[in-house]
Protein backbone atom coordinates (compact mmCIF):
# COMPACT_ATOMS: atom_id res chain seq x y z
CA UNK A 1 0.00 0.00 0.00
CA UNK A 2 1.32 3.45 -0.93
CA UNK A 3 0.75 6.45 1.31
CA UNK A 4 0.34 9.84 -0.36
CA UNK A 5 0.96 12.29 2.47
CA UNK A 6 3.13 14.80 0.61
CA UNK A 7 2.34 18.42 1.47
CA UNK A 8 1.76 20.71 -1.53
CA UNK A 9 4.62 23.07 -0.61
CA UNK A 10 3.01 26.52 -0.23
CA UNK A 11 5.18 29.58 -0.80
CA UNK A 12 4.01 33.20 -0.70
CA UNK A 13 5.61 36.55 -1.48
CA UNK A 14 4.32 40.09 -1.01
CA UNK A 15 5.80 43.50 -1.70
CA UNK A 16 6.06 47.05 -0.39
CA UNK A 17 3.20 49.49 0.02
CA UNK A 18 4.18 53.16 -0.45
CA UNK A 19 2.43 56.52 -0.39
CA UNK A 20 1.74 56.17 -4.13
CA UNK A 21 1.20 52.39 -4.24
CA UNK A 22 -1.56 51.35 -1.83
CA UNK A 23 -1.71 47.72 -2.99
CA UNK A 24 0.76 45.01 -3.90
CA UNK A 25 0.29 41.87 -5.95
CA UNK A 26 0.82 38.73 -3.92
CA UNK A 27 2.39 35.67 -5.45
CA UNK A 28 1.70 32.14 -4.32
CA UNK A 29 3.02 28.79 -5.42
CA UNK A 30 2.33 25.20 -4.51
CA UNK A 31 0.73 22.13 -6.00
CA UNK A 32 -2.97 22.46 -5.27
CA UNK A 33 -5.84 24.87 -4.62
CA UNK A 34 -5.11 28.32 -3.16
CA UNK A 35 -6.88 30.01 -0.29
CA UNK A 36 -5.69 33.43 0.95
CA UNK A 37 -6.80 34.92 4.26
CA UNK A 38 -6.14 38.44 5.47
CA UNK A 39 -6.98 41.58 3.51
CA UNK A 40 -6.99 40.61 -0.13
CA UNK A 41 -8.87 42.83 -2.55
CA UNK A 42 -9.42 40.31 -5.34
CA UNK A 43 -10.32 36.63 -5.48
CA UNK A 44 -8.97 34.88 -2.41
CA UNK A 45 -8.53 31.68 -4.45
CA UNK A 46 -6.25 33.31 -7.04
CA UNK A 47 -2.57 32.53 -7.31
CA UNK A 48 -1.83 36.30 -7.47
CA UNK A 49 -4.43 38.39 -5.59
CA UNK A 50 -3.92 42.06 -4.67
CA UNK A 51 -3.84 43.13 -1.08
CA UNK A 52 -3.53 46.13 1.17
CA UNK A 53 -1.86 46.35 4.59
CA UNK A 54 -1.61 43.32 6.87
CA UNK A 55 0.28 40.16 6.14
CA UNK A 56 -1.86 37.73 4.15
CA UNK A 57 -1.73 34.00 4.78
CA UNK A 58 -1.79 31.35 2.04
CA UNK A 59 -3.06 27.79 2.44
CA UNK A 60 -2.54 25.35 -0.43
CA UNK A 61 -4.59 22.14 -0.39
CA UNK A 62 -3.25 19.32 -2.54
CA UNK A 63 -5.29 16.73 -4.43
CA UNK A 64 -4.49 14.27 -1.61
CA UNK A 65 -6.13 16.58 0.98
CA UNK A 66 -2.85 17.56 2.62
CA UNK A 67 -2.28 21.26 3.24
CA UNK A 68 0.67 23.56 3.60
CA UNK A 69 0.76 27.19 4.65
CA UNK A 70 2.88 30.30 4.12
CA UNK A 71 2.74 34.01 4.97
CA UNK A 72 3.42 36.81 2.48
CA UNK A 73 5.41 39.75 3.81
CA UNK A 74 3.82 43.11 3.03
CA UNK A 75 6.04 46.01 4.06
CA UNK A 76 4.93 49.63 4.39
CA UNK A 77 7.19 52.52 3.36
CA UNK A 78 5.14 55.63 4.07
CA UNK A 79 7.82 57.91 5.48
CA UNK A 80 7.41 61.53 4.35
CA UNK A 81 10.33 62.88 2.28
CA UNK A 82 11.12 65.76 4.67
CA UNK A 83 10.66 68.89 2.52
CA UNK A 84 12.15 72.24 3.52
CA UNK A 85 11.69 75.61 1.76
CA UNK A 86 13.25 79.03 2.22
CA UNK A 87 12.51 82.36 0.62
CA UNK A 88 13.38 85.96 1.30
CA UNK A 89 11.87 89.40 1.77
CA UNK A 90 10.36 91.48 -1.02
CA UNK A 91 10.88 95.22 -0.54
CA UNK A 92 10.26 98.40 -2.52
CA UNK A 93 13.74 98.09 -4.02
CA UNK A 94 13.88 94.28 -4.23
CA UNK A 95 10.85 92.96 -6.16
CA UNK A 96 12.11 89.37 -6.44
CA UNK A 97 13.47 86.73 -4.12
CA UNK A 98 15.08 83.39 -4.83
CA UNK A 99 13.25 80.42 -3.43
CA UNK A 100 15.16 77.35 -2.35
CA UNK A 101 13.90 73.87 -1.61
CA UNK A 102 15.44 70.68 -0.30
CA UNK A 103 14.36 67.19 0.58
CA UNK A 104 14.86 63.58 -0.40
CA UNK A 105 12.37 63.27 -3.24
CA UNK A 106 11.25 64.85 -6.51
CA UNK A 107 10.64 68.58 -6.60
CA UNK A 108 7.61 70.26 -8.14
Of 6-15, 65-74, 98-107, give the lowest mean pLDDT range: 98-107
Of 24, 55, 59, which Cα lies nearest the Cα of 44? Answer: 59
Using CA atoms, how far apart are residues 31 and 40, in angstroms rounded to an integer? 21
Domain ranges of the chain: 11-77
What was the pLDDT predicted at 45? 63
Q: Is the pTM of this model over 0.75?
A: no
Cβ neighbours of residue 48 under 8 Å, at least 6 residues apart? 25, 26, 27, 28
What was the pLDDT predicted at 61? 94
For the domain bounded by 11-77, which CATH number is listed? 2.60.40.10
Using CA atoms, how far apart are residues 61 and 52, in angstroms rounded to an integer? 24
Q: Are strands 57-61 and 33-37 parallel, antiparallel or unpaired?
A: antiparallel
Amino acid sequence: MDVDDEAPGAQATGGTITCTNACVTLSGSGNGDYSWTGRTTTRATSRTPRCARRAPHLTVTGANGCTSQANADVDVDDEAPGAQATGGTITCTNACVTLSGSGNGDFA
